[in-house]
Amino acid sequence: MGKIKTIEYFRVLPRWLFVKITDEHGNHGWGEATLEGHSQAVEGCLDAMIQRFVGYEADNIEYLWQTAHRHSFYRGGPVLMSALAGIDIALWDLLSRRLNLPLHVLLGGAVRTKIKVYSWIGGDRPRDVEAAAKERYAQGFRAIKMNATEDVDWLDSPRALETSVERCKIVKAIGLDVGLDFHGRLHKPMAKQLAKVLEPHQPLFIEEPLLSEHYEGIKQLSGFTTIPIALGERLYSRWDVKRFLHDTSIDVLQPDISHCGGISEIRRIASMAEAYDVALAPHCPLGPIALAACMQVAMCTPNFAIQEMGLTIHYNTEAGTYDIKNYIKDQSVWDVKEGYVEGLQGIGLGIEVDEEEVRKVAKTANAWAPKGFVGPDGSIREW
């Protein structure tokens, strides 16, 4: 046992927020509190948590989690839950490192030896997907995800959907499964049409066919398509997830470990989903610490299906040279072979963070700004 001595956070390129916790005996752990486009808000929340939780027992992870959640009164939401996630992940890393064990052992032990993964192609306005898909296949991936469309109006020409089908066909012809991310960009009149024309081409899933706040629309959509419906990155707790499970309107749940309160909460969400025969496929176009945490959860979660990886995702390449192979000492942990990454077996999260690189980059890293689309008439569109 040891009390929390310090909690530090580091804003790093391209758009990530890392957390380091050290106890009074010098044991440490790393977490990730990335909330894309809202780093300053999470940093402010972490400042408050630092004042509150320094001096708490580092091993009492659940007690700290419950205190942060229940004593906040205004609870939940992306900012609070992302800050809490960074602390929660770091505490699990600290505990398992102190015990000299891989984290998944503390969570019940492995139910698999390797993790099925997918990565991204195409960018925000998907183009030239054939070359990108061939590159992913050569890297070892057997599944990818891409945005289904560019920005689309509330009611747009059906022609706006034609290229989505063609891109799906091109990628599948290369031998890759493809998940299509609607990204909440489409409204119900267009989402219904796109799901129907995609159905004969059997995408792996359609993600956020509507924004998560339209739970009644998602329930309706699920009734007339056989394509698996996935969502979850904008759900921040088991209480947010509950409605979709009760409605039986989704097939794949995609909580983000850095948005939903960390390892402690994503484990509870996964167990809830299993009881409804819903697969877990965590959202993670983020940094190496969040990805390692996801991998540890995947190792011990029976209903885990597939893991998103942000390897050379467009958000990273647009910002320069920083990617998930930065900030860690052994880059080979992310090697992909025939669609899988080997389960992480090192102590803690299974990665060793390059603290020198983290501190160096954090000195000058700017916050990543949110993106957005504007229609030809000047109206604001979903991004």
d(CA 314, CA 328): 20
The residues assigned a catalytic role are 183, 283
d(CA 133, CA 347): 34
d(CA 24, CA 142): 45
d(CA 284, CA 296): 13
The amino acid at 346: G
Strands (E) in 67-204, as ranges, are: 114-120, 143-147, 177-181
State how beta strands 205-207 and 307-308 pair.
unpaired
d(CA 260, CA 84): 8
* Tally of CA atoms within 13 A in the half-sphere of 276 that contains its CB: 20
d(CA 71, CA 363): 33
Whether the Cβ atoms of residue 223 and residue 200 lie closer than 8 Å to each other:
no
